[in-house]
Each structure stands twice: as C-alpha cells, then as structure tokens.
Structure 1
Amino acid sequence: MPESAINDASGDPAGKQVTVKTPKVATRALWIMGISIILVLYVHTSLAPALTQMADYFDKDYATISWVLTAYLVSGAAVTIVIGRLADTYGPKKMLLLVFVCYTVGTILAGFATEFYTLIVFRIIQGVAVALVPVSVRIARDLFPPEKFPFAQGVILSMYQGGSAIGLVLGAAVVYFGGWQMVFFSAIPFSLLLLFLLWKFIPKISTAPLEGKGNDSAPKRHGKVIDIPGVITMVLTTSTFMLCFTFLGKGSEGFGLFLTFLIIGVVSMLAFFFIEKRSESPLINLKLAFHRIIRLGNISYLMLGIVQYIIFSTIPTLGQTPEPYGLGMNTLQVGLLQLPQALVFVALGPVAGILAVKYGSSKFIVPGSIIMCIGIVALLAFHSTSGQVASVLILFAVGGAFVTLSANIIIFFTPPGSTGVVSATYSTMRIIGGAIGPVIAGMFLALFTSEVQTPEGVTSLVPNAMAFNGILLFGAIISLSLVALMFIMKRRALKMGMPSNK
C-alpha cells in the first residue's frame, strides 16, 4: 500500500496528539452497538451449558446437539466478510439493521422450536449477527475522530469478549432456573428494544467508491458492483473450512467428512483467489489482504480465537468434572466461577481503549500477550481449586483485553473505504479460531479419561488430569506464538511509518 494511503488512514500523519471532542452521536451509537454485541454473544455462549438439557429435550446425542453452536458459527463465518464488503458498498447502517433483524427473528422463533432441525435453521439465521462486530467497527470509524477511534474499537472488541464471558456466567443461571428456552426468551425484549435504538440513533453513513484491483495504475470501476462469483466462492470457502474443523473433532467417524470438506475448501479457496485476481470489482482487494500488517493481524486473530475458545470450552468441563480430576461443580457454580473474568472483560475494554488513545495501541499489545501467556501457564500449574481458577482467569482476561488493541494497528493501515471488509476478515479469522479451539480441547478430553464412581455407585469415564494439563499446555504454546506475533507486528508497524502514539 502506498505511504500516502497509510497516512490518510491515520488521520494524523505527523503522529501528533490532537485534542478533539467526540460528537455525542458517536458516543451514543457506540454504546448502543456495544450492548447489541453483548446481547448477541450472551445468547450464543449461554447455550453451551444448556447442551445437556437440549440433548434430553430433542433426544439427540451430544455430537449431534453440538450443532446448535456449530450451525451458528458456520453461518457467521460464511457471511461476515460478504456483509463487511456490502457495508463498505451500500452503507453500514443498512447492513447493521439487516443483520440485527435476522438476529431478532431467529431469536424470537428459536425458543418455540419443538423439532431439532427447525432450531438449527433458526440458529443459522441468528448466525448472520456475527457480522455485527465488523459493521460496528465500520460505523465507529466514520463517526469518531481518528484520534478517538482506538477507544471506540477497544469498546466494540471488549464487548465481544465480555458478551462471551457473560453468557457463560449469566447463561448458566438462566439455564439452571429457566431451561434452555429461557435463553432465547430472555433476549427477545432486549433484542426488540435494541433494534429500535439502532434504527433511531445510528446515523446514515456515506460510502466510499469501490476500489479496483489494488493497482494504482489500473482503471477502477466506481459504483455499487457486487462480485457474485467472489461471494459464492468466499461463502463456500469459509463454510467448508469451518465444517472441516468441526468434523475433525468427531474422531474416526468424522474423518471422511473432514477430508471431503478440506478438499472442497482448498479447491474453493483457489477458485476464489483466481476469480478475485481477475475481477474489476473484487470482493476483497488481494493486495490489501496480503499487506504485511493486515496479513499478520489476521493470523494473530486466528491464534487469539484458538486460545480464547480453548479456555472458554475447557473451564466449564473442568468445573463439572467430578473430583479428583475436576472441581465437581454444578452448572450454576461453574457460571459463578467465570464471573470475575466476565467483569474484567467488560470493564477493562473501555479502559484499554482510553489508554490506546493516550499512549498508542502499539505500547500495549506485547505486554497484553505476555500477561495472557502468563495467565494460561499459571492455569496449567494451578487449577485444583475454584479460587485458583477464578483468580488466574482474571490474568487471562486482562491480557486478552490488551491483545485486541492489535486491531487498531490493522485499521491504521486500512483505507477508510475498506474498513468493513478488513475488520470482517480478522473477525472471521477469530471465528475460525473459535471453531478450532474447542476441537483441540475435545480431542484431549476424549483421549485421556479415567473411571470415577458417583455417590450413587455408578461408574463413568471422565477427563483426567492428563487431559486438562494437555489442553492448557497446548494453549500456553499457542499463546507464546501470539507473543511473538505481537512483537513482530509492533516492530513492523513502527518501521512502516506508524507513529508510536497510535
């Protein structure tokens, strides 16, 4: 990317601190979008502790009922980049409302589902809401002064993490007292209210002309042109790779489907690159996608998704596994175990954004990744009591809040007119990481088991100490690679002209 494009993206090429006032409309829009993201993630992660209850209700085994979560993620991964591009092309408010209407309809209908595959259809409709994050980032970049945008993006991304953590906490209580249907019913009034607020208070955002192939000398087509072959191959690529990782976790019975979807995914990805390279109005500007910072950022978000969802999926299992291998908790107690982590995610996000505005995001991403790594290593060493687990998860949450500031560095090198598709890309990488993490954890949980006897005298196989230690060791290795990625990103960004206070 030319240096001029980089400076235009920063809004402050000299790197000087400029005191500006944030418009009230921007602040109001930010918090409405942020609360909407919390609601969306709350419903999704609340269903994790409900799976056992849902398996009984629909008379399905655990492998089948887990598609309640998988269908949502596959749907979200498939459409997020496309919606990000449509937001850049047709206007982010239109896409924001479309996404949230789909989510609201899916939420209203899902709680009334009496047949399993009907529920899966409603979850697919809800999955479109995964695109809420990149569309919100696109809107925030237009509404906030460039100097204050790191704060806005910090809030948005912290709401994503906070919503996930809140779902694990509050969702456990909702399922415990009200059943799985109450997860959806409890969200309906908030969803309707937020849909009205998004329509009423999010201003209409103008769109930039579409870019061409990324070659400055190449002719560019301006106008609202959609690359349909690119859309089809992108949806096929992301959905098949998500299904590929899903079936990898099914053991030997899923290996054939794993290979099938892997081959389809690779072929469709190659077709996508072939199409995009020749398209006059590509879905993704390949030159921008392979920009040295943006490419590194996408890999980092993949690793972040793997690490976070390894922890998110393992802690409930650790909590509910009988002693001496687990903590022997019920669903409600497991939720409370994760309460400190949830509060830190929500509270620290805005604080991290303020610090990024004042001192620059690049100063915090390496320390944040180190704190996260220390948290996982500490969890590996200390997870025999609920107090140990709850305390160490706070470290994990603190590190995660600061690692997400790397998105500000990605956006610094992104032209404003491509904000939607670029933020959608790193969001999708995080979703894919979120699919890989539980698969890895599940493989350890299935491989290393021991027999325990319940108070009723029933013997059952449960994950043992080797399973949990193996999962956390793997997570520590991935988090260590994230430290290296954050260090490289910081050094590379500064060498490419990003001021140290950005």
Structure 2
Amino acid sequence: MGDKQVGIDRRIILLITSLGSFLTPFMGSSINIAIPEIGSEFLSDAILLSWVPTAYLLASAVMIVPMGRLADMRGRAKIFLAGIIIYTIGSLLSTMVPSIEALIMFRIFQGIGGAMIFGTSVAIITSVFPARKRGWAIGINVAFVYSGLTVGPVVGGLLTEFFGWRSIFYANVIIGLFIIIAGLKYLRIEEITDSEATFDMLGSVLYAATIFFVMLGFQELSETPGIILITAGIISAGIFFMWEKRTKHPVFNITLLTENRVFALSSLAAFINYSATFAIGFLLSIYLQLIRGFSPLSAGLILIAQPLLQVILSPTAGKLSDRVESRIPATIGMAMITAGLLLFTFLSDETPVMIIIANLAFLGIGYALFSSPNTHAVMDSVSERYYGVASGMLGTTRLCGMMASMGISMMVFAIIMQRLPLAEVAPELITESVNLAFMVFVILCAIGTVASYIRNPKKTE
C-alpha cells in the first residue's frame, strides 16, 4: 500500500512539473502564429517583431543556470513554484501593453519565471523517480513540452483569429493559476539540498554577461556591433571559466564539461538541435501566411503535424532509453531531422501543402527519437547533487539554441530583406530568406548528428 501511494504521489508530481514544462512551449508556438497580427497592430518590422520571442529566450537563458544552482541549494520545489508565479504575473501584464516595446519588456519578466521552471522541472522528476523508470518519466515530461508545441499553433491561431493576440496571454494566466494551486497542495518533496554552500554571485553575473553578449551578438551578427558583442561574450566566458575553477562553491561545476564526456557532448547535441530547429515554426508561419495566404488558424493546423508526432512518440522513446544506449535513438533522430530540414530548403510558392505536412510529421518522429533519450543521457550522467545544475544546463542549451536559431533567421532576413516592414517585402525575397535559413540549419544539424554519435555511452559520475 505504501509503495502504491508513493507511485501515486510521484505521478501527481510528474503531472504538476510537466504542466509547468507545457506552459512555455505553448506560449512560444502560439505567439509565433500571432506575430503577423502583432506586427500589424504596432506597425513593426520583422527584426523588431523577432524580439517578441527572443526577449523571453534571452532572459531565460541568462538566468537559468543560476536558478538551477539556487534550486540545488534551497530546494527545487520552492524555486519551481516561484517561477510559475512570476511567469503568470508576466503573462497578465503582457495583456495590457500599449506598444511593441512594452510587450518585449514584459516578455523579459516572463523569461525570468521561465528560467526558474526550466531549471527545476526535470531535476525534480529525476530526483523523484528511480533509475528504472526515469526515462519513461522524462519521456512523459517531454511529451507535455511537445503538447504545448502541438496545441499552441491551433489554439493560438483560434484565439488570434477570433479574440485577438492578447487572449493567448490570458490562456497562460489561467493555466499558471491552476499549476500554482495544485503545486502548493501537492508539491511537497524531500530533497537533498546544499544549504551550507554560499551562492556564487560573481560567477552568476559573469555567466549572465556571457550569455547576454553572445546571444545579443547573434541578433546583430550581420553588422559590426554583433561581432563586438560576441567578442565581449568570449572574453566574459574566459573569465567565467577561470573564476569557476577557483571558487569553492561555483554556480556551475566546470568539470561537468571538461571531464564528463557524456554530459558535454549530449549538451552540445541538444544545443545544435535547437539551433537548427526552433525557428521552423517562425519561418513557416511567415511563409504559410504571407506567401501561401493561409489564415492564422489554417497555418496553425498545418504546423501541428510536427509536435503531434512528438507527443505520441516521446514516452515510447523515453522508455526505449531505459533499455538501450541513449545515443542510438538520439543519433537516428538527429539524422532524420537533418533530412527533413534539407527538404525545406526547396520550399516555393507551389510546394504542395501535403508535402509540407508530411515533412513536418517526419521531423516530429526525429524529434521524439532525439529529445527524450538525450535528456535522459544528460541527467543520468551526473550525481544527484548536480541535478539542478544539469537541468539548468539542459535548459541553457535549449534556450541558447533557440536564441541562435532566431538569430540565424534574423541575420538572413537582415541580409536579404533589410529592415523593410514585412508586409512590404516582395514574396520572392521572403521565400529566398526562408530557404537560406533552412540550408544553414541543415549544416548545423549534420554536425549535431556527429556529436550525438561520438559521445561515450558509459555513465560518468
């Protein structure tokens, strides 16, 4: 009876943390559909509009590792719930904005809450579930992430078309309130914390500066300021690494990268995966609505094909990683994504919609095979006292990859379309930009496939 109750409690905790993981991809995929309408309301160009998703990603990337470390020290459940509260408040404030600049500001606030969610949800699941069921539990969590991606375009398109883009943020407020109420009641777990350690403030600032400079540099990569920012980020990273080796209680244990091959290469594969794929929704949303003339709802229904397959197959892929070496399904998945991205480099104004849907479904299968096993490999490669940091690092690779993906897209847009309002750009230039962006992603994903394959399959503490 005791074991049965423990199993029920674990499933409730899995549900709460997975709902938290659902929120942010749901917001991201639904807001992508609303980008053209937001642009029309505020008369914004494509570069400024890109900051609606990018501002959130940047804030999350800057804060996620420090928040993961803080969670290891003070308790992951506390930080998780605090993150949900901040995220929900940010969603509410985003409904009241008078300008695109104000919306971007509140997206930053949302991003801080998102970092607290990203840096703890997988860590909580990993600490609660035994090793024999961990891959399955992570697969369920990943399925919730992809559920957010699945329903986001459809719900986002529906809400945008009939109630306006602000209704998307109201939907996030409702979900956030539910998670807060359920979390306060059920998210009470015994945790191994590191309360004796002091928080590495200087390391956190250096880490934040590194991520900020590099990611902001990606947004301006086609111009001189972008090169300067990336150079500043590299210098800051060097100082950060030197400091982390010297300090007694580092915000990030550098040996996880220098001495743990599985952790390092799995993290690299995750970063490349998101760098090559996150902007798919953004690019296809623009292509489908501005080149093919689809409504926001119709575009959302087309884009649903990819995450739908991810939702269906992620738990199975996670369970598979409990039985076989994680790099095998992960590498197969990455290779499939590379092939799918290659097909999108040939998009034209005459590409059959069924080909687009079929390729999105193919990409969804590849995603499912890669994501759950790769996440399992990262979390299984470290000891429990580093779960928060490992979860934060996973979130960092994901968010930095997303930022890089948007940065590459914006660089291509800036080179080909300059800063003209999106509605004034010639259709052939939009198609050319989309094709070129996908070609860059193909090259990246091919490199990621190699990184996934050459990792050491043996666990390293």
TM-score by length of 2: 0.90
Q: Which residue does 1:190 correspond to in 2?
A: 175
Deviation of the 1:117 alpha carbon: 3.6
State the 1:41 CA deviation: 1.9
* TM-superposition CA deviations, 1:75-96 (whole Å, max 9, x none): 1001000111111111101110
Structure 2 residue aligned with 1:343: 308
1:16 corresponding residue in structure 2: none
How much does 1:39 deviate? Answer: 2.1
Kept in 1, the 8 Å contact 2:29–2:153? The answer is yes
Deviation at residue 379 of structure 1 after TM alignment: 3.7
Partner of 1:376 in structure 2?
Answer: 341
After TM superposition, give the deviation of residue 20 of structure 1 in Å: 11
Cα contact 1:374–1:395 (8 A) shared by 2: no
Aligned length: 448
* Alpha-carbon offset, residue 278 of structure 1: 1.1
Deviations 1:340-376 (A, max 9, x none): 2222122222222222234453441222222222322
Question: SS at the partner of 1:427?
Answer: helix
Q: Which letter does structure 1 place at the counterpart of 2:220? A: F
- The residue correspondences of 1:180-219 to structure 2 (distance < 5 A) are 180-209=165-194
- Which residue in 2 is equivalent to 1:282? 250
Distance 2:8 2:370 in 1: 28
Question: Any idea what the Cα deviations from partners look like across 1:258-302, whole Å, max 9, x if unmatched?
Answer: 133223312221221121111011111111232222111221111
Q: CA deviation at 1:320?
A: 2.2
Aligned-partner Cα distance in 2 for 1:233–1:497: 27
Letter paired with 2:355: Q
Residue identity (%): 23
Distance of 2:412 and 2:44 partners within structure 1: 23
Structure 1: gaps spanning 5 or more residues: 1-18, 211-222, 450-457
Match of 1:394 among 353, 361, 370: 361
Q: 1:336 to 1:440 in 2, by over 3 A?
A: same
Alpha carbons of structure 1 residues 234 and 493: separation in structure 2 relative to 1, 3 Å: same
Please tell me whether residue 473 in structure 1 is matched to residue 456 in structure 2.
no
- In the alignment, is residue 93 of structure 1 matched against residue 41 of structure 2? no
Can you give the 5+ residue segments of structure 2 that lack an aligned partner in the other structure?
418-423
Residue 38 of structure 2 is aligned to residue 71 of structure 1: no
Residue by residue over 1:137-193, the C-alpha shift from the partner in whole angstroms, topping out at 9 and shown as x without a partner, is 111111111111111222223333442343233212211221111111122222111
1:235 aligns with 2:208: yes
The correspondence of residues 35-434 of structure 1 with structure 2, limited to 5 A, is 35-128=19-112, 129-209=114-194, 223-248=196-221, 251=222, 255-290=223-258, 291-322=260-291, 327-380=292-345, 384-404=351-371, 405-434=373-402
In 1, the alpha carbon distance for the partners of 2:149 and 2:454 equals 28
Aligned to 2:420: none
**Change beyond 3 A, Cα 1:459–1:444:** closer
Separation (CA, whole Å) in 1 of partners of 2:253 and 2:460: 22
Alignment of 1:440-479 (within 5 A): 440-445=408-413, 447=415, 460-463=426-429, 466-479=432-445
Report Cα offsets for 1:39-73 as digits up to 9, x if no partner.
22212332222223223433443322332222111
1:444: how far off? 3.8
1:3 alignment counterpart: none
Distance 2:55 2:256 in 1: 30
Q: Secondary structure at the match of 1:23?
A: helix
Distance 1:237 1:497, change over 3 A: closer
Q: Deviations over 1:206-258 (max 9, x none)?
A: 22447xxxxxxxxxxxx13101111111111112212111222xx4xxx2431
Residues 78-126 of structure 1 show CA distances to partners (whole Å, capped at 9, x for unaligned) of 1000111111111101110111111011111211222444333321111
CA 1:51 to 1:91, structure 2 compared with 1: closer, same or farther past 3 Å? same
Find the aligned partners of 2:430 and 2:206 in 1 and give their Cα distance.
Answer: 42
C-alpha distance in 2, partners of 1:57/1:116?
9
Q: Which amino acid aligns with 1:42?
A: F
**Partner Cα distance (1:267, 1:360) in 2:** 37
Amino acid at match of 1:477: I
Q: Note if contact 1:52-1:62 (Cα within 8 Å) is conserved in structure 2.
A: no
- 8 Å Cα contact 2:75-2:193 kept in structure 1: no
AA at the equivalent of 2:213 = T
